Chains A and B, each alone.
Chain A
Amino acid sequence: MSEYKSGSNLEKVLKSGQFAFTGECGPPQGANVEHLREKAGHLKGCVDAVNVTDNQTAVVRMSSWAASLILLQEGLEPNFQMVCRDRNRLAIQSDILGVYSMGIRNMLCLSGDHQKFGNHPDAKNVFDIDSMQLIHTVKTMRDEGKFLNGQDVDVPPRLFIGAASNPFAEPFDFRVYRLAKKISAGADFIQTQCIYNMAKFREFMKKAVDMGLHEKCYILAGVTPMKSVGMALYMAKQVPGMDVPDSLIQRLRGAGKGKVAEEGIRFALEQIEEFKEMEGVAGVHLMAIEWEHRVPEIAERAGVLPRPAV
């Protein structure tokens, strides 16, 4: 157990050198535990860990830690996400101890979408610390057994630290350095923003591999299957930092009525095949939001089942 930083299932799969496959599940906009259990149920056995989002797009949902605990109860391994928008360093350190003590072993450290996007745009935003500093905080608590103020933590939380990377945001040239910075700050694994521009991603990965980043940290490529042309257009135009090539939009258009979702899945499967062979990519993070019931099929067709038992 001491060879592992956290002993989480995800860590064990990655450390064993096997191709990791993670999923995502958003908590409900209410206390609808049944619906959460049902969504999570689809993912069981198909993924190594499940991302549980934290008030994503600044829309209030059941807290990430609570939804993560429910997933634990269902026999799934959560990737507990925390954003910097809603909590100060006291609440952050406090929640880190809380989730660890309740059995959570993976934590994804994010900045968080600005509250202007969400359903409570009048809220004060916190951003006491940023995502880089959050990664560093978890690492300090885990490896040095210290709080941010230097005081000792009586039982250090042993969490597997994750972070996000957006290879497509600007300035493009700086993105790989920012990834390197997150790894130095303590990130053990990275999940990228969903990828559509494969050429640009290959370019990014080449730089990352040249810098040896893949040896210090596990990089998982983000995949979100396009369900419709409308979704592709929306992602291309309305979502900041998203790069959707015209060729993909044309391909989806050409699929014909009623066949677009299938074409979207086919594209995702092609991507997964390439990622399996791509140097530096340790796995795939599948974000099939509100499409969890299709994950078992996608996992099957991607040839990633059964998931390894470690």
Chain B
Amino acid sequence: MIVAQPKPIKEVLEMVRDFKKILVVGCKGCVTVCNVGGAKEVGVLAAALRIAGKRSGRDIAVHEHTLERQCDPEYVGELEETIHDYDAVISIACGVGPQFLSERYPGVRIFPGVNTQFMGGAEAHGIWSERCAGCGTCVVHYFGGLCPIARCSKSLLNGPCGGSSNGKCEISKDVECIWDTIVRKMMEQDRLDELVEFKPPKSWSTARDGGPRRMSREELVK
């Protein structure tokens, strides 16, 4: 899923400091799963904004709403009747949310309440880490089912580099050296020949490097 991190409340406050009627919109998708943008978090952010308003003597109204998803026109459309009542809307969905809202409601000021980070999953309750960089040409099967594009700091295809130490990446003791894991796994599975096989340069044209992407299922398009 897409993992995001809440923006510092101070930053959000600064964004909406000139506005009096604010709507906080959450999303029941990915951001609910990583506990930054669901109904609960909408409640907390809204309460924090109200408290800040009261404390500074500003008369602001903060309302709350959580959509099923902010990445589908049908759900975004549910706000049609009400969204124009607000001066500012804070979306705490991933980066797609504020954009879908902005595109659908061009006259409304939309602000992002989270910093979208990566595609990943839960390592343990409360901890998520990156797994996929969306390179557009999945090759994890060449690396024991692990992805060096997303998980090697240098995206090496013929790793590890000389900085790998105790199974950790040179950039931080908190970052796993995925090449250490790949090599150990494949050597254990007697797949050394696959490891020493030269991997040629990757085509980045299917990644974001090739330009903004689009995917369609022709049989579904009306």
* Chains A and B directly touch (beta carbon < 8 Å): yes
Q: A133 to B163, Cβ gap below 8 A?
A: no
The minimal Cβ–Cβ distance linking B135 to chain A, given in whole angstroms, is 12
Closest to B161 in A: A111
The minimal Cβ–Cβ distance linking A161 to chain B, given in whole angstroms, is 15
Q: B165 to A130, Cβ gap below 8 A?
A: no
**Residue among B161, B165, B169 with max Cβ neighbours from chain A (10 Å):** B161
Counting residue pairs across A and B whose Cβ atoms lie within 8 Å, the total is 102
Q: A174 to B187, Cβ gap below 8 A?
A: yes
Q: Does B210 count as interface, using CB distance less than 8 angstroms?
A: no
- What is the size category of the interface that chain B forms with chain A? 20 to 34
Given the complex, which residues of A lie within 8 Å of B153, measured CB to CB? 114, 116, 125
Question: Lowest 4 A-B CB distances belong to which pairs?
Answer: A166-B162, A132-B158, A240-B170, A240-B163
A85 contact from B154, B177, B184, Cβ within 8 A = B154
Q: A127 to B180, Cβ gap below 8 A?
A: no
Q: Does B56 count as interface, using CB distance less than 8 angstroms?
A: no
Cα(A89)–Cα(B171), bound, Å: 24
Q: B158 to A114, Cβ gap below 8 A?
A: no
Q: B162 to A89, Cβ gap below 8 A?
A: no
Closest to B154 in A: A127
Given the complex, which residues of A lie within 8 Å of B154, measured CB to CB? 84-85, 111-112, 114, 125, 127, 130
Cα(A136)–Cα(B157), bound, Å: 13
> B residues 133-165 with Cβ under 8 Å of A?
153-165
Given the complex, which residues of B lie within 8 Å of A111, measured CB to CB? 154, 156, 161-162
> A residues 124-168 with Cβ under 8 Å of B?
125, 127-133, 136-137, 148, 164-166
Q: Does A224 count as interface, using CB distance less than 8 angstroms?
A: no
> B residues 179-222 with Cβ under 8 Å of A?
180, 183-184, 187, 192, 195-196, 198-202, 204
A177 contact from B156, B162, B192, Cβ within 8 A = B192
